[in-house]
Structure formats: C-alpha cells, structure tokens
Chain A
Amino acid sequence: MTTRVEIERAHWDDPRVVRFRELMDAEVQPLYADLRDEIPRVVVDPATILATLVATVDGEAVGTAALKQSGPFVEVKRVFVLEKGRRLGVARALMAAAEREAEALGVRELFLQTGKRQEQAMALYEREGWLPVAPYGPFEGDTTLSRCYVKPLTRPFVAGVVAAETPRGDDAVGRVLGEIEALDAAGADLAIIEDDPVPPAGSATLDAPMVAAAAAATTTHVALAPRVRVTHTEPFHVSKGIQTLDWAAAGRAGWVVGVSLTDEEARAFGRRPAPAEDEAWQEAEAVIDASRRLWDSWEDGAEIRDVATGRFIDRDRVHYVDVETRWFSIKGPSIVPRSPQGQIPVIVDVAGDGPALAAAAREADVVRVAGDRPRELAARVRAAAEAEGRRVAILVEVDPERVVRAPHARSDEEQLAAWAAFLRAEAGADGVVVTGSADAVRAIVGDQHAAGTTLRERLGLARPASRYEAAPELVSAAAEGESR
C-alpha cells in the first residue's frame, strides 16, 4: 500500500500548526538546555509570515513549514514532522513545496537557519541542495549556534570584469580576449570590459569597444559591455560604436558609461580642461540621452527596398535627433540602422551618493553598486530611480577574496556561490558582478548559460519600439489639427 503525502496551505494560527510548533520546541529545546541563557527568545510577528504549509499523510496532518520575511531575506521556518510522518519523504515534500511557494512569490534565493546540534536536519538540507552560508539577518554574527543555509531558486545574472591594463611589453590582446573567452565558457552573462585611455606608466590598454567587437567573433554567449568615457570623446562616434557592437555581437552589447576627471587625461586630449565631477556627469547624462535618440533615429523597418518607387528607405521613418546641449549638439540621424536590441543597456557604476547616482537614476538601465555591503546604496539608487518614474537593475559586487564563510563550509566554490546569493538577497539586487577570474563565475553558475540571447533579454527588458514611431492615433490627431 502506498502512502499519499499531500501539502496544503494553512494559517499560521491553525491549531494543528500551533500544536506542531509546540511539539517542535519540546523536541529541540532540550538539545540546547545547557545554552538556554544564550538563546534569544524570538517572537514571530504573524505579519512577516508569507505562507504556512501543512503536510498530510492519507489525510492526517503530520508536519508543517512556513515562509517568513526577515528584512531582505525570505526564510523557511518551523519545519517539523511528527515521528509517524518521518522516513516517508514528508520533510522533503514540505521543503519542495516551500520552494515552490517562494518561487511563486518571486523569491530568488531562500534562506534557513537551524542549530548546530540538529545534525539530521543539516544532513537533509545538504542533501536537498542547500548551501552553507554565513549567518544572515536575524542571526548575523551568531556562529556559535546558528547554522544557516541558502538555496538559489533562479540562476543569478552574473557579470565578470576584464581589467583594462596589461603590463607594457606583455601580450595585451591575448590577455583580454583570453579572459573574455574564459568568462564565456564559464557561463557569465556579461563581461564588463574596462578601459583607460591614458593608463598609468608601465601599462598599456586597448580600445574597449574594439576589444568587445573582436571578442564577439570568438564567443557565443557572454554579453560585452565596454567602458567608454565620454568627457573628451565625440558623442556621435561613441553612440555609433556601441550600436555597431550590438550588430557585431547580435544583440549582446552593453555600454558602461565613464567620465574623465583627471588633468592628465585632459592634457592628453588637449581639447578642454578637466571638468568637475558634477559637470562631467551632467554631460555624461546628456551623452546617454543623445545616444538613445540616435539609436532610435532609424525606426525598425525603415529600410524598405521598394523597387517600384526606387526608394531604399522610407525617409519618414528615419529621424533627425536635433540634440542641443551646453556641451555639444548633434543633428543626426545615426549612420547605423537600428540595432538588434534597439536600445542597448546602459550601465553606470555608483560608489556612493554623488553625481553618478543622480545620472544613473535618470539614464541607466543597470547600476553597478560598489562597496562591501551595498544594501543601503542599492536602496538609495532604487529610490532615486523611482522618483524619476524609472526602474533600474542593480548589480552588486562579489569579491572572491573577501567571502564571509559559513562555520560549516564545505568548499571554497560553494562558499562563493552562497556568499553571492547572500549579497544579492541582502541588497535586493538583480545580479552580481564578480571581480575575480572566470573560475569565480563558474563557481556561481556552474558553467550553465542562461536563457536569452540578447543582454536585454537576460536583464528581463523588452525590446522597445523607437521613440520616434508615431502611434497611429497621434498621427491622425495631428492631421486633424492641421486641417482645422
């Protein structure tokens, strides 16, 4: 005869659940009797309970589990199975159901805490794919008793970084292309290709958009986002270069916007003095806006090849941008037809409050937040973007050299993956930027490539129509206005 394990939703105050919690306390508390004074009494606010589950076997309630919001973390709490329900897979079924509930709520990584003396529970979690993680949220700092776990429910968005500088005399091309190819093989979603047009003495750099285009020939998956500083360059050249990269890489292009603040760079170009940071970012914002207009200046389908009328393009669908700023003006249109992504994701680094944050809030699609514990900064970026009526994707940095390890860690690779999940959850981020080698990326995504071919797709961004595409009703309204 087979037993039927079923999971149903219940209320936190369901008498069966209340009784299971009491039984659980009665079973667990004696394990820690010698430490009673050190265990803080936790009162659960029912408002933080996202879901409560009850497991039944042949119709009889035998176990429970719950999902709880604890600050930025979502935890599995109060997993308990009656003696008679054990060895029937009830605990496993409860955990699986909790994961499904969490997924349905859009939770990307699930946490749980247990105690170091609950060895059976720890063994179960580890069998079920949970990764040991440093104590989180309510348990932060408690490495004595708490044993915490994390389970990533979705594959994270992971970016790697390719440094700009190569020692002068070394093979710069081999190094940068090798690193990008390694990131591609490791499953990275994005390679941020750094650049510095005037590198320190003893170092050499290559033009990042060109490196990215070269890498497009030998990579298949990784998106390529070169850093381009806009202070001394021509916005028109920058915009068409990034757009061409999007063609070259079939929609895998991104753009990390930078500014030039040093006198050294200003003297190298010799066109203008170094601007103050405020002004440099105001101008950068204007360059991004101008680029976005140029990228939209050809509507999709503007190329018609109409033999009957002899027209190659429909020029009503190719638009001047007429950008006028205090730093530059651009007539347009772009010389490049609209690219595979249409709008190429714009990435801005934010290291603190300041002009870059303001520019990012208004113009970036993706913000790379720097710092060790970026939760507060990520929140400020999100709030600033929301104030502009926008949403930005947040990437937080993971430094493989600075992983906080769990007391029950099993391997370095697993600790890196767990720490990345922790940092992402803590900041509510959309992904991580790994500052180490491709091996660090591999540890997090395990050579698995994400779905989606374009960078926009991987960021969950739809491909927008050109801003210059006239909605039909607007056209007729305008025509009507004219005839009056």
Chain B
Amino acid sequence: MTKRQVHFGAHFPGVNATTIWSRPESGSQIAPESFTHFAQTAERGLMDLLFLAEGLRLREHAGQIHDLDVVGRPDTLVQLALLARQTERIGLVATLNSTFNEPVELARQLATLDALSNGRAAWNIVTSHDAFFGANFRRGGYLEHADRYERARAFADAAFKLWDAAGTGSEVRHVDRFFDIAARPGAPATPQGRPVILQSGVSEDGRETAARYADAIFSPFAAGPKAEEFAADVRARLVANGRDEDALKILPGATFVLGDTRAEAEEQAREDQWAQVSPATAVRHIESVWGRRFDDLDVDGPLPPLSDVVEGVELTAGRASHHTDQRSRAAELIERAEAGGLSARAVVVATTTRQSPLVGTPAEVAATIDERVQSRVCDGFMLIPSITPTGLDRFVDEVIPELQNRGVYRTEWEGQTLRDRLGSVAA
C-alpha cells in the first residue's frame, strides 16, 4: 500500500508568544531579509506553504500596549508579493480577514498574488467581530458575533464569482444580506483561478466553513484525543458536503525542538518554554487570569490567593484566547502549583507553553510525524519555530531527509500550482 505523504506549512515566527526574542541568534521580525531567509529555507525543504498570520491591531494588557512579546509585522499582501519573486515553488498563505475587507478589492489582491507567484497563492480566511479590531477600520465593530462566519461565506462566494469571471472579464453580480456588488473582475485570469483556501477556526462554524471551501485547515490540535476527534469530525463534514475525505489537508500547528539526543532536545524544550515565559510575562498572565494588576508579585514565589480574583475583568485584548471563567481557571493553576510544588512562573510555563509532540532527535521527530500522518490524525504540520529567521534551518537539513528516507516526503517538486501539490496524496 502507498504511504500517505507528509505536508508542511512554515509559520513565520514573528508576532507570537512562542517566538523567543531574547537570545543572541534572535533576528529581526520586520526586516525583509528575515522573511526571505525563512521562505527560502522552507522552499529548500520542499514545504507546501509559507504562512503569514494577520495583524489588525497591537495587543493590549490592562489598557496598554502589550510590550513583552515580539510585536511589529508587515502588511501580509505586500510582504508576500515580494516573496513571490524571491521564491519559485512554495505556496504563499495570506491570512486575511473577511470582516474588515471588501470582496472586490481582496479578490483582486489575491489574484495579483497568484499571478506574481505563478499559481502559489493561498488565502487563510479568518473572521473577526471584535470592536477592539474594528477601531482601526471604517465599519468599526459592526458585525454580530453570530454573523461573522456568515459574512465570511458570503465574502468567499462573491470572491469566487470574481475569480471565475477573470477569463472573460464579464460583470459579476452578487447580492445578499452583506453585499450588493456589480463588478467586473479587475485582475487577469491566473494559474490557479481561485487561490488555495485555508481555514484556521475550529469552532462549529469554522469547521463547517472549512468543509465547504477549504483546501487545508490549520488546527491547534497537534496531539492527543482532541486531534483524533478533530480529524474524524472534519472528514465526516467533508463527506457530508459531497467532498473527498482527503480534499482537505489537516495541518496542526506545532512547535518543535531538535537535539542530538532525546535528553538534549527535552532540555532545550524546557529552556525554550522558560524563555517564552519571562518573569514579566508570567506576571502578565497571572494578572489576566486574576483580573487585576500585581505590580510587586515575585514569580519565583507562590501564586496569589484565590480570594484576590476579580471576576468579569478582561485585561487582555487583541488575542484569540481569553479566559471565560477566571475563578475556576485560577483555582486550577493553584491546585497544579500545590500538587507539583511549582512557583508562580513555573505553573505559567507548565500551563501556557505549547507541549509539542515534535521533541527529539531528527529521526525520532520524523518517526512521530510519519506515524501521525499514517494513522490519519493529520496530513502533516504547520511548523512554528521559535527563532526568527533561522528556526527552520535544522529541521530542513535533518528532519526532511529522514522523512524522504521513509518514503513519505517528496524529493522533488511536482505539479505546477500549489493546488496541484497539496492535492497529491500518493508518492
């Protein structure tokens, strides 16, 4: 039987709590050279996708700009347009919001990316309803939470019509609850026609949108029963939507740590986690759970008592995750600290950093990836290195050859477009 093939995306390590900026080798998160190095390294590793996340506003904590993590990033489309001419084969994923864009404009921009890259454009459709982000846009916080995916689907339908009309240039009419558009497509017909579609939401609505439109889904579940449940659920939804079970690539986001021995890798993973949670970051996290400031908290000592929790206070803004039940979350942290004899910082490290399945020697990591893909938990990973821009180098140099030796990874580029490459299942 033919082995299932592994696919990779490479997530640029910029604005992200996993990016370590405090080491000497930590490079610029904004210099174009960082993006060039990272993209060309991923391409050298024959990876399917280069992934850029979206920025609509700087994160805040307690009403002030969050200053502890890497911040500052380029406009996704303009940066990818540059990379389109600095790379030749890797797919270029633009994470772009359907809430704060207009279909006629975004459709032409994505077509421009497809044209400039000769068929390598991908759109990661994300949604937002948040007035926090809306404060930077004409419409403000106009969209009801319940409507965000409905608008996303309407947006995608309108964009699809525009892409499909590019050959003739004839006028497209699209009218629904959200849009009233009469437009000729501006951009020319491009190699892929429609860009490859990615989805990152794992809510009910997000999964359904993915099952209907997407070519790949970027999930947060890298391991464990949640990952398996997620994969099974997505496959069921694909079939329900009349699509092939393999029509959607499942790519969980994952950090990774490589070492010459497993022990060395595990030690490095621990060091990375402590570097990701500086004392100041630990205080910030505790403040966001407790709903109040702790200006003099010693994070090498114990957590504050449960009685200090101020409920109903959202200190953090501009981040995907937030705490819905502060008191139970605080109780959970305290219990964990007491059980393990952990300091305040140690418990934040233990509970907030990513626990990656991809820690070990290159051969071990390759074996783990192979096993996950063959057991259909996923189709590969969206790799999230912790060092900019060289964090992917060793993976490409040492893990990719192991996977190639196992016969589960391409040894040369096949297909003309990104969609051709993502679709290939057999070796």
Contacts and interface: CB of A to CB of B under 8 A. Distances in A.
Interface of A: 166, 168-170, 172-173, 177, 196-199, 201-207, 209-211, 213-218, 232-237, 240-241, 243-245, 247-248, 250, 267-271, 298, 303, 305, 307, 309-315, 318, 327-333, 335-337
Interface string B50-77: 0000011110000011011111111101
A329 B139 CA distance: 9
B280 interface: yes
A198 to B, nearest CB: 6
Given A206-B112, A210-B109, A307-B22, A331 B136 contact: yes
A207 B21 contact: no
A312 B72 CA distance: 10
A335 B104 contact: no
Interface string B171-199: 00000000111111111110000000000
Contact of A270 (B22, B67, B100, B179): B179
A336 B138 contact: no
B105 A269 contact: yes
B113 interface: yes
A198 B135 contact: no
Contact of A197 (B21, B22, B86, B108): B108
Nearest to A215: B85
Q: Residue among B85, B140, B188, B189 with the most chain A CB within 10 A?
A: B188
Interface string B358-381: 000000000000000000000000
B127 interface: no
Nearest to A196: B186
B138 A305 contact: no
Contact of B68 (A241, A311, A327): A311
A81 B65 CA distance: 74
A248 B74 CA distance: 9
A245 B78 contact: yes
Contacts of A218: 85
Contacts of A309: 280
Contacts of A331: 57, 135-136
Interface in B93-127: 100-102, 104-105, 108-109, 112-113, 115-116
Nearest to B113: A210
A248 B79 contact: yes
B135 A330 contact: yes
Contacts of A333: 58, 65
A335 B85 contact: no
B242 to A, nearest CB: 30
B386 to A, nearest CB: 14
A232 B102 CA distance: 9
Given A241-B78, A244-B75, A310-B281, A202 B169 contact: yes
Given A210-B109, A267-B183, A336-B75, A197 B138 contact: no
Nearest to B188: A204
A218 B84 CA distance: 11
Contacts of B166: 204
Contacts of B313: none
Interface in B211-232: none
Q: Residue among A215, A244, A245, A303 with the most chain B CB within 10 A?
A: A244
B81 interface: yes
Given A213-B79, A315-B64, A197 B140 contact: no
A268 B169 contact: no
Contact of A234 (B64, B85, B137, B280): B137
Nearest to B168: A168
Q: Please give me the 8 A-B residue pairs with the lowest Cβ-Cβ distance, nearest first.
A: A310-B280, A268-B183, A204-B188, A310-B278, A210-B81, A217-B85, A335-B55, A331-B135
Contact of B180 (A241, A250, A270, A312): A270
Contacts of A267: 181-183
Contacts, number: 195
Nearest to B132: A331
Nearest to A323: B136
Given A312-B68, A318-B65, A337 B30 contact: yes
Given A207-B187, A233-B102, A270-B180, 18 more contacts: A169-B189, A201-B169, A206-B187, A206-B188, A207-B77, A209-B81, A214-B82, A232-B105, A248-B32, A248-B79, A307-B278, A310-B68, A311-B67, A312-B68, A313-B65, A313-B67, A315-B65, A336-B30
B108 A335 contact: no
Contacts of B357: none
A62 to B, nearest CB: 61
Nearest to B138: A328
A314 B66 CA distance: 10
Contacts of B82: 213-214, 216-217, 248
A209 B112 CA distance: 10
Nearest to A226: B78
B132 to A, nearest CB: 9
A335 B135 contact: no
Contacts of A335: 55-58, 72-73
B101 A237 contact: yes
Contacts of B188: 166, 168-170, 172, 204, 206
27 contacts: A168-B169, A198-B186, A201-B184, A204-B186, A204-B188, A206-B108, A209-B81, A211-B116, A214-B82, A214-B84, A218-B85, A236-B137, A241-B75, A248-B82, A267-B181, A268-B182, A270-B104, A270-B183, A298-B72, A312-B70, A312-B71, A313-B67, A314-B67, A315-B64, A318-B58, A331-B57, A335-B73
Nearest to A322: B135
B279 interface: yes
Given A232-B102, A330-B136, A336-B72, A197 B78 contact: no
Nearest to B115: A173
B67 A327 contact: no
B427 interface: no
B71 A244 contact: no
B77 A241 contact: yes
A244 B79 contact: yes
A307 B26 CA distance: 12
Contacts of A298: 72
Contacts of B186: 196-199, 204-205
Interface in B289-338: none
Given A234-B137, A305-B21, A313-B71, A247 B112 contact: no
Nearest to A205: B186
B31 interface: yes
Contacts of B31: 247
Nearest to B78: A244
Nearest to A202: B169
A215 to B, nearest CB: 8
Contacts of B71: 312-313
A233 to B, nearest CB: 6
B240 to A, nearest CB: 32
Q: Residue among B85, B186, B189 with the most chain A CB within 10 A?
A: B186
Given A232-B102, A310-B280, A312-B71, A207 B108 contact: yes
A270 B181 contact: yes
A96 B73 CA distance: 53
A298 B280 CA distance: 22
A207 B75 CA distance: 14
Interface string B255-281: 000000000000000000000001111
Q: Residue among A248, A328, A330, A335 with the most chain B CB within 10 A?
A: A335
A198 B31 CA distance: 33
Contacts of A337: 30, 72
A331 B113 CA distance: 29
B184 A198 contact: yes
B86 A217 contact: yes
A331 B57 CA distance: 9
A303 B65 CA distance: 13
B314 to A, nearest CB: 17
B200 to A, nearest CB: 18
Nearest to A337: B72
Contacts of B279: 310
B168 to A, nearest CB: 8
B369 to A, nearest CB: 32
